[in-house]
Chains A and B, each alone.
Chain A
Amino acid sequence: MGVMSEPAERGRFGEFGGRFVPESLIPACQEVEAAFRDAWADDRFRAELDELLTVYAGRPTPVTPARRLSAELGLTLLLKREDLAHTGSHKINNVLGQALLARRMGKRRLLAETGAGQHGVAAATAAALLGLECVVFMGERDIERQAPNVRRMRMLGATVVPVGSGSRTLKDATNEAMRRWVADTAEAYYCIGSVMGPHPYPWMVREFQRVIGEEARGQVDRVPDVVVACVGGGSNAAGTFAGFADTGARLVGVEAAGGAAMTGGSPGVLHGHRSMVLQDAHGQIAEASSVAAGLDYPGIGPEHAHLGATGRATYATAGDDEVIEAVHRLARTEGIIPALESAHALAWIVRNASDLAGLTVLMTLSGRGDKDMEMFQ
Chain B
Amino acid sequence: MIFADDNAKKLVPYVTGGVTEDWADCLRAYRDNGADAIEIGLPFSDPMLDGPTIQEASDRALARGTTVDGILAEVRALRAEVPLIVMTYANLALRPGFAGRLAEAGISGLIVPDAPLDEVAPIRDAANAAGLDLIPLVAPSTRPDRLRDIAAGAQGFVYAVSVLGTTGERDRLDAAAGPLATAVRTLTALPVLIGFGVSAPEHAAAAVRDADGVVVASALMRRLLDGASPAELGTQIARFREAI
Tell me the A residues contacting B by CB distance below 8 Å.
10, 18-24, 26-28, 165-166, 171-172, 175, 178-179, 182-183, 185-186, 268-272, 277, 279, 282-285
Contact = CB atoms under 8 A, between A and B. Distances in A.
16 contacts: A18-B118, A19-B116, A21-B114, A22-B139, A23-B138, A24-B164, A26-B139, A27-B142, A27-B143, A166-B46, A175-B48, A185-B164, A271-B46, A271-B48, A272-B114, A283-B95
A187 B116 CA distance: 23
A199 to B, nearest CB: 9
Contacts of A171: 46
A166 B68 CA distance: 19
B95 A22 contact: no
Interface of B: 44-51, 55, 59, 62, 67-69, 89-92, 94-95, 113-119, 136-143, 146, 150, 161, 163-166
B166 A185 contact: no
A184 to B, nearest CB: 8
B91 A279 contact: yes
8 tightest CB-CB pairs across the interface, nearest first? A24-B139, A183-B165, A269-B90, A269-B91, A284-B45, A22-B49, A285-B45, A23-B139
A10 B119 CA distance: 9
A23 B114 CA distance: 7
B115 A179 contact: no
Nearest to A31: B141
Given A166-B46, A285-B45, 13 more contacts: A22-B49, A22-B114, A23-B161, A24-B139, A24-B140, A24-B141, A26-B142, A172-B46, A179-B48, A183-B164, A183-B165, A282-B69, A284-B62
Contact of B166 (A20, A183, A186): A183
A269 B45 contact: no
B67 to A, nearest CB: 5
Contacts of A18: 118-119
Given A27-B143, A28-B141, A175-B48, A182 B91 contact: no
